[in-house]
Amino acid sequence: MNLYQQRSSNIRRTWALVFGFLIVVIAVGYAVSWYYGNPSILYIAVVIAFATNFYAYWASDKLVLSLNHARPATREEFFDYYTVVENLSIAAGLPKPKLYVIDDPAPNAFATGRDEKHAVVCATTGLLSMMTRAELEGVIGHELSHIKNRDMLLMTIAVVLAGFVAIVADIFLRMSFWGGGQRDDRQGGNNALLMILAVVGIVLAPIAAKLIELAVSRRREFLADASGVLLTRYPEGLASALRKIGSYASPMQNANAATAHLFIGDPFGAKPAGSAGWLERMFSTHPPIPDRIKALLNSQA
């Protein structure tokens, strides 16, 4: 599969995962409405989830930069960083994003912002000091691809839906603890069975929603890798950068689970190849770096 085919495949699979999110949300909403016979609970949950995430979307760049202790990058201090971003932004047809740095020896980078005109690219000083120009171009191409592909919007949708499911499930559990459901037992065993299935489904729904959110995040990394290489025309540059990122085991000084999915590499430190079990891989925000390198280099064939 070449890069163009991989990019199209990843887009289709990502939107299929988002559709799966919608199914989970609808199923949870129906279960809670049926269990309580009171749709107002859903309206409250929807308002809370969307209000919280609407604010997070509009202020996402400021929140993320603050959480990671980022500072503006000057052209004088980071000349190569500036020129690489300027050149690749022109090639991608994007406005040049604002540039920030994090004073941290761990090599990493991320992009954030609500759209192309309000985008931010941020890199650690560790990444800027250890990458060659070709490797830096690979990393920046990856981050600009996140902006070009509107990944920030997609991940915001994923967070909204996951937040909605979690809030509805929390309301359900609290109300069940204090008062129980309002359904009567006139339908006998069938009604009781449906109630049990509803409870189990609602309890497990947040886990399913989180897994889908993480799967979307992992898919977007593969897509940004492929799109970034289409921009730089040099797969080995990004592959070499990923090798360096993947060989750095120490976590970032201010690693934060809330923003971990934004980074090109795991901010909690790379794991030795083959050390992660299937459960850890399932709950990971990033696909294994060896898999990403293999996909990049195989695309040249």
Closest-CA residue to 109 (of 84, 75, 76, 77): 84
Say which residues have a Cβ less than 8 Å from residue 44's Cβ, sequence separation at least 6: 171
pTM of the model: 0.77
Closest-CA residue to 259 (of 104, 72, 111, 145): 111
pLDDT at residue 83 is higher than 80: yes
Whether residue 218 contacts residue 287, with contact meaning beta carbons closer than 8 Å, is answered with yes
Q: How many CA atoms lie within 13 A of 81 on its CB side?
A: 24
pLDDT tens digits, 90-129: 999 999 999 999 999 999 999 998 888 999 999 999 999 9
By annotation, the residues acting in catalysis are: 143
pLDDT at residue 199 is higher than 90: no
Whether residue 155 contacts residue 216, with contact meaning beta carbons closer than 8 Å, is answered with yes
- In order of their start, the domains of the chain are 61-151+217-298 (3.30.2010.10)
Residue for token pair 């809670």:
32
pLDDT at residue 172 is higher than 60: yes
pLDDT at residue 197 is higher than 80: no
pLDDT at residue 193 is higher than 90: no
DSSP-derived secondary structure for 119-160: -EEEEEHHHHHH--HHHHHHHHHHHHHHHHTTHHHHHHHHHH
Report the pLDDT value the prediction gives residue 201, as an integer from 0 to 100.
66
